[in-house]
Structures are given as structure tokens and as C-alpha cells.
A and B are shown apart, each in its own frame.
Chain A
């Protein structure tokens, strides 16, 4: 197995470089990419990447594998390696801190911008707020996002305008609250999204959809937000 690994330590390297490594393990194809990284790190502890749950729910280990964004822990090596070769790079478009670790500040800032919390100023009842199963159903495919950034960092619009285009992940969450029958801030939320950048930079090329490791569909959510904006405008 040949691995080409993106290396960069700001203290030691003037510029990023690709390191070529060989790993000789029988059945390496059955491993996840994260297992592979762990083996490499046992040999060279200076390799840096994030990881935690190793089961695809914490969203730490989004990386670019042979040109495809995904989670290292749920992507089998056999699925991404081409002719025994695997190139691992950090998620594109965000500043690199070290090796596969990117600076996610910009990504989180966009998430925070859409006010990702339920807003409802009515005094809550003594028990839970009721919600019909049908209304709850509308949140499926939205609330499951793990903030891994695989989608936003595969989106050219987010590369070009990371400060102003909210990006697929943020917009998916924006719609998660717009769609929640318990949220009453629809008007304010839409007003914040009306400018030419926040939502309208999406060109619907669906890179996000093919990148999302949780099988979510940000493009559809963006379409729904647009529809809501147009309906509100009329």
C-alpha cells in the first residue's frame, strides 16, 4: 500500500510537502482510512489529524482521500484507494494548521451566523411543547448533521466566499430551524438570509450532496430556503 500524505508543520516547514509512505499490512484494504492513519502514527507519532468517536458521529476526521472528502473512520481503504495508492490531504479551502488538521474557524462562524438554536419567546408549557410526528418528520435529514465540514469544503462557492456564503452545512442548519414547527423566528431568519451571498451564492452543483458522509442533502434544503424567500418576497 502506497500512501502519499500531506505534511506541514508551520514551525518546521516553509511550505507543505507530500510524504510518500509504504505500509505493508495484509488485508489493508479491509481497514478504514482512520485505522491506516493510526498505524502510520504508531510508526511516526508526529503525524497530526483529529479523531475521536471512530464511528462517524463526532465529525472530527473529515479529510480529503484521493480527491474525495469524507470521514476517515467510516471510509474503507478499499473504497478510495486506486491501484494500491492513496493520497491523503486536509479538507480543501480552509487554512491548514498542521498536516491533516485544518482551521475550522470560518466554518463555525458561518454556523453561528444562522443562529443555530430554537427561538420561541412564548413561555414554555409545564411539560414539553407538543409536536406532531408529521412535523417532527420534517427535521429528519437536517438535524443529523455532524458539522464535519466535508460538504462546505467541497463547495467552490464556499472556497470563493467563505466569509459571506453560509455554505451547505450552515444552510442545512438554517433550514432545520426554519422547518421546526416550534420555532417562531422564521421572519427574522429569512430576513438575514436575503442578501446576495448568504444563500444565493449556491449554484446547485451538488458537490455537498456527494460529499456528505451522513447522506444528507444540503442542496435540497437550500432550495427550500429559496422557495421560502421567494414566497415571502411576493
Chain B
């Protein structure tokens, strides 16, 4: 149908990735939550915690996971709803705009936190 929709993606890969990234995100969320509950929070402790190399790697993984998870999810939502029934003949164009928008957002949420995480060291 639309060029984006027929990008030759594998539904299986998406499916597995979606679940794997969900696991990573859950683990990350638990880890951070546990740390928050363990002791009172201040900036110094926070910086120290996220400054360790393992934690930085983990955070990076979580950020990547979030990006992948969000992209797959948003792509799916788009191909569900941005359809001819509702949007008429130019639905393909709208879908493309929507997907570019999503891609931009995902990219932003990828680069920005990564910069923060790796900026913490300096």
C-alpha cells in the first residue's frame, strides 16, 4: 500500500523486539525505582549513581529500548488509523507526515537523553 508500510519489515522481529524492549524498560524502571526508595535523593547521589559506567550502559540500553519500542508502537498505530476510510485519497501523504513526525520525536528522545547521560561524566 503505502511506501512506508511496505518497507519489508518483519512482523516477527517487531514482535520480539517489542517484548524484549519492554523487558529492558521494566528492569530499568524497577532498578531506578528501587534506588529512589532506598535512600533520600539529592543531586550529588543522583549524579554519582548515574555516573558509574554500568549504570550509564544500562541507561543507554534503556534509552535505545524506549526508542525502538516507541517507534514500533507509533508505526503500528499509524498504519491502523491513518487509513483511506477516514482520511480519503491523500491518506498515504498523511501517513508519511505522521511517520516522519514520529521519527523526529523518537530521534529527539534518543539523542537528548543520551547526551545527558554521557554528559553527566564531565
Direct A–B contact in the complex, CB atoms closer than 8 angstroms: yes
Any B CB within 8 A of the CB of A40: no
Residues of B within 8 A of A229 (CB): 12, 15
Residues of A within 8 A of B16 (CB): 230, 233
Any A CB within 8 A of the CB of B10: yes
Q: Are A200 and B15 neighbours in the complex by a CB distance under 8 Å?
A: yes
A147 nearest CB across to chain B (Å): 24
A196 in contact with B9 given A163-B1, A164-B1 (CB within 8 Å) = yes
Q: Are B80 and A194 neighbours in the complex by a CB distance under 8 Å?
A: no
The contact string, 1 if C-beta is below 8 Å from chain A, for chain B 78-92, is 011101000000000
Any B CB within 8 A of the CB of A197: yes
The contact string, 1 if C-beta is below 8 Å from chain B, for chain A 20-41, is 0000000000000000000000
Any B CB within 8 A of the CB of A183: no
The contact string, 1 if C-beta is below 8 Å from chain B, for chain A 133-166, is 0000000000000000000000011001101100
Number of interface residues of A (CB under 8 A): 18
Q: Are B79 and A161 neighbours in the complex by a CB distance under 8 Å?
A: yes
Number of interface residues of B (CB under 8 A): 14
Residues of A within 8 A of B13 (CB): 233
Q: Are A196 and B11 neighbours in the complex by a CB distance under 8 Å?
A: yes
- Give residues of chain A (192-234) contacting chain B, Cβ–Cβ below 8 Å: 194-201, 226, 229-230, 233
Closest residue on chain A to residue B82 by CB atoms: A160
The complex places the Cα of A157 from the Cα of B81 at a distance, in Å, of: 10
Q: Are B80 and A196 neighbours in the complex by a CB distance under 8 Å?
A: no
The contact string, 1 if C-beta is below 8 Å from chain A, for chain B 3-30, is 0000001111111100000000000000
The complex places the Cα of A233 from the Cα of B17 at a distance, in Å, of: 12
Q: Are A200 and B14 neighbours in the complex by a CB distance under 8 Å?
A: yes
The complex places the Cα of A167 from the Cα of B12 at a distance, in Å, of: 17
The complex places the Cα of A196 from the Cα of B80 at a distance, in Å, of: 12
Interface residues of B (CB under 8 A from A): 1, 9-16, 76, 79-81, 83
Q: A195-B11, A200-B15, A229-B12 are in contact. List 16 more A-B contacts (CB 8 A).
A: A156-B80, A160-B81, A163-B1, A164-B1, A195-B10, A196-B10, A196-B11, A196-B79, A199-B11, A200-B12, A200-B14, A229-B15, A230-B12, A230-B15, A230-B16, A233-B12
CB-defined A-B contacts under 8 Å, sample of 11: A161-B79, A163-B1, A194-B12, A196-B9, A196-B10, A196-B14, A198-B11, A200-B15, A201-B76, A226-B15, A233-B12
